[in-house]
Amino acid sequence: MTSQAHHQSAVAATAPPAPHSSMPSIGSLVRRPEVGSLIGMVAVLVFFSIFGGANFMSAGGAASWLNVASELGIIALPIGLLMIAGHLDLSVGSMVPASSMTIAILSGHYGLPIIVGILAALGLGLAVGFINGVLVIRTKVPSFVVTLATLFALAGLTLGLSVILSGSTSVALKSGPTAKLLFGDYLGGKFEVTLFWWIAAILIVGFILNFSRFGNWILAMGGDAVSARNAGIPTDRVTIALFMSSGLCASFVGMSQAILYNSAQVAAGQSFIFNSIIAVVIGGVLLTGGYGSVVGIVLGTLTFAIVNQGIFYTGFDANWASLIIGVLLLAAVLMNNTFRTMALTYAPRAKSRTR
Cβ-in-10-Å burial (0-12, 13-18, 19+) of 291 comes to: buried
**Whole-angstrom Cα distance, residue 46 to residue 311?**
13
**Whole-angstrom Cα distance, residue 105 to residue 291?**
41
Determine how β-strand 263-265 pairs with β-strand 186-187: unpaired
Q: Where are the domains of the chain?
A: 29-354
Judge contact between 95 and 78, C-beta under 8 A: no
Identify any residues that bridge with 265 across adjacent strands, giving them in sequence order.
170
Neighbouring C-alpha atoms within 13 Å toward the C-beta of 220? 30
Terminal C-alpha separation, the chain = 23
Judge contact between 29 and 20, C-beta under 8 A: no
- Return the C-alpha torsion angle 120, 123, 125, 128, nearest 10: -110
- Ordered per-residue pLDDT tens for the chain, 355 residues: 444 444 444 444 444 444 444 445 555 555 566 777 888 889 889 988 888 888 888 888 899 999 999 999 999 999 999 999 999 999 999 999 999 999 999 999 999 999 999 999 999 999 999 999 999 999 999 999 999 999 999 999 999 999 999 999 899 999 889 999 999 999 888 899 999 999 999 999 999 999 999 999 999 998 888 899 999 999 999 999 999 999 999 999 999 999 999 999 998 778 888 899 989 988 888 877 888 889 999 999 999 999 888 888 887 777 777 787 788 778 777 776 676 666 556 554 444 444 4
- For domain 29-354, give its CATH number from 3.10.20, 1.10.3470, 3.40.50, 1.10.1870: 1.10.3470
Residues 6+ apart with CB under 8 A from 107: 113, 114, 116, 117, 118, 173, 175
